[in-house]
A and B are shown apart, each in its own frame.
Chain A
Amino acid sequence: MSIQAKFIKFHDKIKLSREDSEYKDAREKDDSILKAVKKALKEEGYPVVDNFLQGSMSTSTGIKNPGEDFDIDRAIVIAFNGSPDDPVKVKKIVLKVLEDRGFKNAKIKKPCVTADYTSKNLHIDIPIYREQNGDYELAVGKKNSSDDNREWSASDPKGLRDWINDSSLYIGSANKKLEQYKRIVRYLKRWRDNKFSTAVAKKVFSIALTVMSKQQFRSSLDDSEKANDLVALRDTVNDMLHASYFSFQGNEQYRVRVTLPKSPWRDIFDGSSLNTGTQFYNKLTVLKSKLDQVIEETDLVKQCKILNEVFGDDFEVPSSSSTAKKAAYSTAGASGTSQGA
């Protein structure tokens, strides 16, 4: 069995998609909340014209993390015409829906309305947009923000989602390469959760890892079209380190800056501390070096031991290099081929 087979097994363990059984409760909650939010906004004269998933569920980059909540990022869009000048007004309507449904800690944050559903390990983020001719504006402002801190801020959530999901620049086996990129995002997220303290991990934003690895992604497929996630991850991490995200601040400290590739083009790490940047840079450097070690190593068990240390116990270490019997058969019923003679 190859190291790639181990990566696939690891990925199967950590990936979280909307169709997963673990996500069933979240999915159902999402559906019912959406229904209630639509109803409430309509009654208040702000009919919902669109809604869509944001975040990792919309880009298939979500991961399971024991002890962590399942996230729902459900964007709500109201029409531009008739929308209130005060963006917090609609956020308050959504907040009330959540409070009425028994959510603890429901509150209005600057970019969204958020709540936790403790018994089901759910964390809900509801950003609200208004839309006109395809242009979106995000309702920004907290419950008690001053007028200066309340605004409809230009944003391009669908553009960002499409940018992440775009495979048009990959030449040959584009979908395979896109899937490999998304696996790499998941690996990096799991690495972050395993290697950083909880407090710092929260500041190494998932969207930053997603954007950085998208911009620096280096695919690796072998002559049989088999992905080599190990090499792709190492090459991508290497390029992340050598791109201009990290700037040296002296005294072995770094600042990290990653610009959103779509409107509002803001720095994802705006206001981030030197500690976050330094830890991020140093741990990414160690990751690269560990991956180099794994590539150099020829024994499968030793490779897996290093990766287990990097990613945690979901990356399994086999008892020997040749014990595992492979699953032999394809799970597809049929596949169209181009073969003739």
Chain B
Amino acid sequence: MADNIEIIEYLKSKGFACQELDFKGIKAISVDVEIAEKLIELIHFPSSEIAGLPVFLLAKPSEIGHLAHVLNYQEYGHDFGSICVNDRDSVSVNFNMPLLAIEESLNRHIDILEKAITDPIWNRQELLREFKSCWLNVCDFDDRPVLLTNDNGAVEEIDVFRPVKGRKFGVRSYYLAQSKDTELAAAAKIYWQDNSDRSLAGKAVVLPLTEIEPAPLNKGQLENWYLDILSKQKPDILKKLNDNYGQWKTYKYWLFFNAQVPSGKVWFCLSFKSKKGKKHSLPLTERQLENWNVKAVPIRLFNKEAILPRGGANLDLAETKVALVGAGSVGSEIAHKLSAAGVQNLTIYDPDRYNIENLYRHVLPEEFLNYGKSGGLSFSLKRQFLWSKANSSLSKLLDLRNSKLLNTYDLIVIAIGSPTHERLFKEYLLEKDIRVPVINTWLEGFGVGGHAVLDIQERRGCLLCAYVCPDTLARGLGSNLNFIEPNQNVTINMSGCGEQFISYGAMCSAQTALIASDLAIKFLEGKIETSSKVSWKGCEQDAQKHGITLTNRYYQFTNSLKIQPLFHEDCDVCN
């Protein structure tokens, strides 16, 4: 690593005005930069190793004004502005050439500052866009965060409950403020309302702001910022607040604000605590504020709109109805992925119970042993995906031959690995002219691969296209997508009849579930409109070890994970 002298000499050679500084015994480098006739001082504290973009701090930031991407803080008794150049992890830094890295970083810091100082419109927009992080900069973190379940952000009064005593993890460790009639209410009641264990902490009011200003620079500005914001709201909001809460007195209030900023709807919170232990009404004026200590506190919004997109889920899939038949190793993974994608109305069908043999290739934990796989899965999904309405049934695929029931679904996913039942079911759909789209998915033993086919009845290509016999071109009994040649003993028998199983691991079932889930989600999102097939190809070593011979398709296949048309020109249904 270069020492301070080398860095200074290097930066000077590049035209920068810099010098060494001493901060209470810590050596630093100061760089003077002039932007829009303002003299800016940037401070760099050299590190022994360059593991990220080198940092330059803005000296005396309050003298420069409220700048976007600059957060103020104190260190060594001095005010500094931390400049957000990039997500530090998103930059790959040349640690072998530290001087180059320092110069590059310095230039990036200067560019950001120059933009913020010389373009006030951009600066304000950016301050609003990053409102949430600016707000967190003035928050007090001496208490647990508040978890708010709210769907619409309208004016509402909410009870706020304290965390459950002794709880350090999970939702029970948060303050909980639950709006009425949210979609989460039912789940909350079941899992973590626990009012008996939670004590009432006070009252909160949800306040939608029609006007918003950038967050205050420091905690000292909070009260003025609050009064300023109130003054900018439409009169009817203030009147409503005054009418409803201007007379109602308590020891503690929370205000849950929400407002539109360029990055979407932002939620933030102020807490008001009575100064002298007396009850007071909600402060709406400077004079009323004198009775209260005001703090910004962190708030976590717990609603679909906030949580699902952040996790990559699609809110548009909320109303979609999907039936999943089979809750085995592949089916359980599919259930998980569909729910994670935002499918809420998932019905899981499987007659089997969860056995100890299933543990290492299934998503359910040991607690569900002897429980129905479908029931355990739906319970487990609802715990993780809080808006999931997954339900379960012990019915088998062939029990579902009921046109009224089947027509209620937007998609049926079949993961049972039984070609006979799957073909029987397909023939029922054909016979009754039931046009619900179906995905059939299966894997093959020894890790050679897995397959999924999407059969959209109104499009060319159907399950039976994947079953056209390569030799006779009539309907076959095994799929022509298979990588293992038919009529071989692919099961492993450890303890006699009824105990045979196909050898594959959780990786194979997960991979197969991924291709099937991907197909399902793309179809539900309207990204696939034709009947399609997709396969993944694994390694042949285990199959070879067991003397299993593979198909030509296996050796020629180079389209792993690629979605391709399903139509087969010799399928008697599609021609």
| A172 and B552 form a contact (CB under 8 A) | yes
- A335 to chain B: which residues have CB within 8 Å? 476-478, 486-487
Given A328-B572, A340-B502, A341-B415, check contact A172 B482 (CB 8 Å): no
Question: Bound state CA distance, A172 and B326, in angstroms?
Answer: 31
| B469 and A174 form a contact (CB under 8 A) | no
Chain B contact residue count (CB 8 A cutoff)? 61
Given A173-B551, A223-B557, check contact A341 B470 (CB 8 Å): no
| B551 and A225 form a contact (CB under 8 A) | yes
B residues 533-575 touching A (CB-CB < 8 Å): 548-557, 559, 564, 568-570, 572, 575
Answer yes or no: A93 CB below 8 A from chain B CBs. Answer: no
Q: List 25 A-B contacts (CB under 8 A).
A: A2-B569, A4-B570, A5-B570, A171-B552, A172-B552, A172-B553, A172-B555, A173-B551, A221-B552, A221-B556, A223-B559, A224-B466, A225-B480, A225-B551, A322-B575, A326-B474, A330-B469, A330-B472, A337-B478, A338-B482, A339-B417, A339-B479, A340-B442, A340-B444, A341-B326
- A199 to chain B: which residues have CB within 8 Å? none
Question: Bound state CA distance, A332 and B486, in angstroms?
Answer: 12
| A339 and B551 form a contact (CB under 8 A) | no
Residue of B nearest to A8 (CB): B473
Question: Bound state CA distance, A207 and B568, in angstroms?
Answer: 36
Question: Bound state CA distance, A219 and B483, in angstroms?
Answer: 18
Closest chain B CB from A3 CB (angstroms): 9
Answer yes or no: A226 CB below 8 A from chain B CBs. Answer: yes
Closest chain B CB from A210 CB (angstroms): 22
Closest chain B CB from A92 CB (angstroms): 47
Question: Bound state CA distance, A336 and B445, in angstroms?
Answer: 13
B residues 317-345 touching A (CB-CB < 8 Å): 326, 328-331
Given A341-B328, A341-B417, A341-B442, check contact A224 B554 (CB 8 Å): no
Closest chain A CB from B492 CB (angstroms): 12
A5, A174, A177, A336: the one contacting B473 at CB < 8 Å is: A5
B328, B551, B575: the one contacting A326 at CB < 8 Å is: B575
Residues of A at the B interface (CB closer than 8 Å) are 1-2, 4-5, 8, 171-177, 179, 219, 221, 223-227, 322, 325-332, 334-341
- B441 to chain A: which residues have CB within 8 Å? 341
- A332 to chain B: which residues have CB within 8 Å? 477
- B476 to chain A: which residues have CB within 8 Å? 330, 335
Closest chain A CB from B475 CB (angstroms): 5
B445, B473, B482, B483: the one contacting A2 at CB < 8 Å is: B473
Question: Bound state CA distance, A327 and B575, in angstroms?
Answer: 12
Given A172-B555, A226-B470, check contact A337 B482 (CB 8 Å): yes
- Rank and list the top 4 A-B pairs by shortest CB-CB distance, nearest first: A341-B417, A173-B552, A338-B484, A172-B555
- B415 to chain A: which residues have CB within 8 Å? 341
- B378 to chain A: which residues have CB within 8 Å? none
Answer yes or no: B210 CB below 8 A from chain A CBs. Answer: no
- B443 to chain A: which residues have CB within 8 Å? 339-341
Question: Bound state CA distance, A8 and B504, in angstroms?
Answer: 37
Question: Bound state CA distance, A77 and B48, in angstroms?
Answer: 90
B residues 115-156 touching A (CB-CB < 8 Å): none
Question: Bound state CA distance, A171 and B442, in angstroms?
Answer: 24
| A339 and B444 form a contact (CB under 8 A) | yes
Question: Bound state CA distance, A92 and B480, in angstroms?
Answer: 55
- A338 to chain B: which residues have CB within 8 Å? 444-445, 478, 482-484, 486, 488, 490, 502, 548
- B504 to chain A: which residues have CB within 8 Å? 340
- B488 to chain A: which residues have CB within 8 Å? 336, 338
Question: Bound state CA distance, A177 and B550, in angstroms?
Answer: 13
